[in-house]
Structure 1
Amino acid sequence: MLVGVWTTGTVADAENSLQELKQLAETAGSVVLEGLIQRRQRPDPATYIGSGKAEELRDVVAATGADTVICDGELTPGQLRRLEEIVKVKVIDRTALILDIFAQHAKSREGKAQVELAQLEYLLPRLRGWGGNLSRQVGGRAAGGVGIGGRGPGETKLELDRRRIRERMAKLRREIASMSTTRETKRARRQRREVPAVAIAGYTNAGKSSLLNRLTGAGVLVEDALFATLDPTVRRARTPDGRLFTLADTVGFVRHLPHQLVEAFRSTLEEVSDADLILHVVDGSHPDPESQIKAVREVLAELNATHIPEIVVINKADVADPDTITRLTRREKHSVVVSARTGQGIDELLAAIERDLPRMDHEVRVLVPYRRGDLVARAHEEGEILAEEHTADGTLLHARVPAALAAELRRCAVPEKVGAGAERPA
């Protein structure tokens, strides 16, 4: 049973939000029986939907045989408890539902640790028991002769649970920090080689993984489900002029993405904040793509990534309404319309990436001896070849390359018989 509170916007916005909650519930493995929307200025502080609506909800739950109520918002521990007391079935909120989906889809060790940390952060204030008024006092002789006032009932089960959760959270944070070191090392290596980085970001199920596969042939899992991708995938690709860049697929965003997840997945989401260019993928076939764009940009702002150049990639053009595509392209001036499924618009997207990627700022003209063919190969791999000619003394190379490689090429360049306009070593 789905429940939403409509506080702002139009009735269509409220229905779209509940429809998305239905998709989330189905992704988590639930069967949705019915949905209910209440119009009010703000959620009720006691029961989220008000006592009268809560009793109406109880009757609908009894009539349909629903065993769970899912609320379209984050509920306080008190709201959850009071609503459960009225409807007599399990009540969960949107945050708990998203965390459950993440838990089902996490595959890597780091992904599982990140999800568990987010779940524990959500669970900690929602543990139920006598409250926090009983301290960790011990009773009887173990009190060490403290006397009157020093003999308590001992550590309650609630306190014990809270302590264990905090200890587990501290351990998970240490593990995530150690695991993120590997990614940071790889990222630092790419930055040292000055390989430009492109991050694919966007709303969940917008087609990010399909686009990565289309651009690189990565073979990443593509599934018509929310949050099918949790573990970031980084692949190499080339622009039409041959320049190498990396392309990173990231976890999908969603409206009201729980802050626990943004924090727990911060090391994963750094692929976005460290990128040179963001491909912001939008589902052109969605009934309200503008709200998805807004939600993604809110998360990008949380990650301090709003300063990074962005190309809006309007995906699913093969099934989208042409009027929606026209509206989006008029609104988003720097956009490309594509279909990752059919390949439509991919050449235009690659041309846009080539235009917006930072260029290598070290241009060299050197005669490289044939024994240093490894440097020529690196120039092909890491840089942009402008001209190449094979002479009797070596390979005459005109290229834009990273600073470190430019220095190496100049050091080993053949000083005699250098071709016209070629650089002599310092």
Structure 2
Amino acid sequence: MDRRAAPRSSRIPRRRPHIDTASNGASRYSLAPDDHTPDDGPAEVIDLAFEPEPPVRRAPRLAHTTAPREERAYLVGLDSGRRTDGFSATESLRELGQLVNTAGGRVVGATLQRRPHPDPAHYVGAGKLEEIVGQRAELGYSVVVFDDPLTPSQQLNLEQSLGVKVLDRSALILDIFASRARTREASLQVELAQHEYLLPRLRGQWQHLERMEGAIGSRGPGETQLETDRRLIGQRITRLKKQIQQVRQQRALQRSRRRATGIPVVALVGYTNAGKSSLMRAIAGADVLAMDAVFATLDPVTRRVGSQSGEWFLLTDTVGFMQKLPTQLISAFRATLEELDTADLLLHVVDGTAKTIAAQMATVAHTVEELGLSQTPMLTVVNKADGLTLADGRPVTTEADLEALATQHTLPVQGEVIFTSATAGLGIQTLRQRLLWEFYGESGIAARYADAAHPALGTASEAV
């Protein structure tokens, strides 16, 4: 049989195809002989020339960010017609928005409902709840924050109805404290407060398992996990309380040593973000964190302040107060607040530019009374005076303007009021001299603190 190559157009044999490339770069299919097929005739290759396919374009890789997604918060409050520590419902809700901003969220909406008491099941009424659910499609909120503490059952019912994360003011403040904690002491106290807040809310965390109860092979796993978590958190709370007790003992020892030296102690108290840390930096030259944010200071800081004549005192900065503070937080930070117990004078720092200045002062006075410090002498200092104006409309720029403010103010304060601006340095020297006079008098050293004076101590301040 003649096996010479047949013309290309003769016929197409049954052969397995394989891809080949023509000389012009185009793809072509060739029908090569199959090794397992009998060679019963001449093989012919047919060029099936076509345009080469364009290269596959892959979608560009997008960078993956690990930054937390910004929460879009919707605020809910009740207007019962009564003021809480002097705050109206609108003012309290506005403050809640500031807390959301501090926590890294963004407020996209808010609502108030007039009710004498919260609804026991959902905090708000059925109609208001439907209104909040309907706002989700328009505003796209991812979390709903309530201005008052929620019971565990209210929080669970609200999460089921709203389909998003639900927080109350207590949880929001605890989250801010956790982000501010830098030292071991602050971390221990914040963790204790968080566990005590979470413990009664564990049942809602395992609700998805409780739905399985009664099924074959899965009887009771939700309740078992719930009991396990309760036991573990209870053990953790016990360990944290023991560690915090050690901190309290250590601080008590430090305070007893200070008292033994006879050094007078001045403690700064005030509403959060009133400028206490800035004032401490101005008075004592202390290198402490000062920022325009709530709860910037969690750990007590003590510095020594002196004069050219050798008179000196200790100045202590503590955590700021706020209305509706979680009870767990006050209890956990008792070790920090005990620094106020040994103070000879409380320096009440007030934000002179606050729109709710009277309500903030009332909150601080109420908190001081709850801490059992109502018998400790108190001096009121109005800070941020550079943001105020005089009766004739002129801004405050000089020491003389501060003296004018002291005679024109209408604050609900009985007794002396000193105006300062920590950032502008106005009134700082006057305040420092006033504090020294409180303990040592204006003509020499009083007998009570004669042994505490240090003749070699200048105006420098030292850590204690």
Same fold (TM over 0.5): yes
The whole-number CA distance in structure 1 between the counterparts of 2:364 and 2:370 is 10
Equivalent pair of 1:3/1:69 in contact (CA under 8 Å): yes
Structure of greater relative contact order (alpha carbons < 8 Å, 6+ residues apart):
2
Question: What are the superposed Cα offsets for residues 263-309 of structure 1, whole Å, 9 maximum, x if unpaired?
Answer: 10111111112210001111010001111011111211121111100
Equivalent pair of 1:240/1:354 in contact (CA under 8 Å): no
Aligned-pair CA distance for 1:89: 0.8
> Which shows bigger deviation, 8-17 or 96-105?
8-17
Aligned-pair CA distance for 1:9: 4.5
Aligned-pair CA distance for 1:320: 2.7
Aligned-pair CA distance for 1:381: 6.0
Correspondence for 1:278 among 325, 346, 371 = 346
Aligned-pair CA distance for 1:155: 7.0
The whole-number CA distance in structure 1 between the counterparts of 2:198 and 2:317 is 29
The 3-state SS of whatever aligns with 2:273 is coil
The 3-state SS of whatever aligns with 2:88 is helix
Tell me the equivalent position of 2:425.
343
The whole-number CA distance in structure 1 between the counterparts of 2:223 and 2:412 is 63
Equivalent pair of 2:87/2:359 in contact (CA under 8 Å): no
Equivalent pair of 1:329/1:335 in contact (CA under 8 Å): no
Tell me the equivalent position of 1:193.
261
Correspondence for 2:194 among 116, 119, 142 = 119
Equivalent pair of 2:78/2:118 in contact (CA under 8 Å): yes
Equivalent pair of 2:196/2:328 in contact (CA under 8 Å): yes
1:110 and 2:196 matched: no
CA shift in 2, pair 1:14/1:240, >3 Å: farther
The 3-state SS of whatever aligns with 2:346 is strand
The 3-state SS of whatever aligns with 1:380 is coil
CA RMSD in angstroms comes to: 2.8
Correspondence for 1:221 among 289, 298, 302 = 289
1:170 and 2:238 matched: yes
Correspondence for 1:54 among 104, 129, 132 = 129
Tell me the equivalent position of 2:327.
259
Equivalent pair of 1:277/1:357 in contact (CA under 8 Å): no
Tell me the equivalent position of 1:390.
none
Mapping for residues 259-408 of structure 1, pairs under 5 Å: 259-322=327-390, 326-329=408-411, 331-357=413-439, 360-361=446-447, 379-380=454-455
Tell me the equivalent position of 1:160.
228
The whole-number CA distance in structure 1 between the counterparts of 2:222 and 2:409 is 65
Give the percent of matched residue pairs that are identical in Structure 1 and Structure 2. 45
Tell me the equivalent position of 2:109.
34
Question: What are the superposed Cα offsets for residues 353-402 of structure 1, whole Å, 9 maximum, x if unpaired?
Answer: 223337753698xxxxxxxxxx9x974269xxxxxxxxxxxxxxxxxxxx
Tell me the equivalent position of 1:99.
174
Equivalent pair of 1:285/1:321 in contact (CA under 8 Å): no
Tell me the equivalent position of 2:6.
none
Which structure 2 segments of 5+ residues have no match? 1-73, 211-219, 392-404, 458-464
In structure 2, give the amino acid aligned to 1:215: I
Equivalent pair of 2:192/2:332 in contact (CA under 8 Å): yes
Tell me the equivalent position of 1:65.
140
The 3-state SS of whatever aligns with 1:128 is helix
The 3-state SS of whatever aligns with 1:275 is coil
1:90 and 2:165 matched: yes
Equivalent pair of 1:106/1:115 in contact (CA under 8 Å): yes
The 3-state SS of whatever aligns with 1:285 is coil
> Which shows bigger deviation, 194-203 or 80-89?
80-89
Question: What are the superposed Cα offsets for residues 302-354 of structure 1, whole Å, 9 maximum, x if unpaired?
Answer: 21111100011111100135479744446342211111111212233223322
Tell me the equivalent position of 1:5.
78
Higher helix share: 1
The 3-state SS of whatever aligns with 2:387 is coil
The whole-number CA distance in structure 2 between the counterparts of 1:363 and 1:178 is 31
The whole-number CA distance in structure 1 between the counterparts of 2:323 and 2:412 is 23
Equivalent pair of 2:263/2:449 in contact (CA under 8 Å): no
Equivalent pairs, count? 354
The whole-number CA distance in structure 2 between the counterparts of 1:85 and 1:334 is 54
The 3-state SS of whatever aligns with 1:156 is helix
CA shift in 2, pair 1:195/1:363, >3 Å: closer
The whole-number CA distance in structure 1 between the counterparts of 2:275 and 2:153 is 38
TM, length-normalised to structure 1: 0.77
The whole-number CA distance in structure 1 between the counterparts of 2:81 and 2:437 is 40
Which structure 1 segments of 5+ residues have no match? 135-151, 365-374, 383-426
Aligned-pair CA distance for 1:61: 2.2
The whole-number CA distance in structure 1 between the counterparts of 2:164 and 2:310 is 60
The whole-number CA distance in structure 2 between the counterparts of 1:182 and 1:3 is 42
In structure 2, give the amino acid aligned to 1:55: E
TM, length-normalised to structure 2: 0.71
Detail structure 1 runs of 4+ shifted over 6 Å in the superposition.
152-155
The whole-number CA distance in structure 1 between the counterparts of 2:249 and 2:221 is 44
The whole-number CA distance in structure 1 between the counterparts of 2:308 and 2:410 is 26
Equivalent pair of 1:244/1:381 in contact (CA under 8 Å): no
CA shift in 2, pair 1:42/1:381, >3 Å: farther
Tell me the equivalent position of 1:233.
301
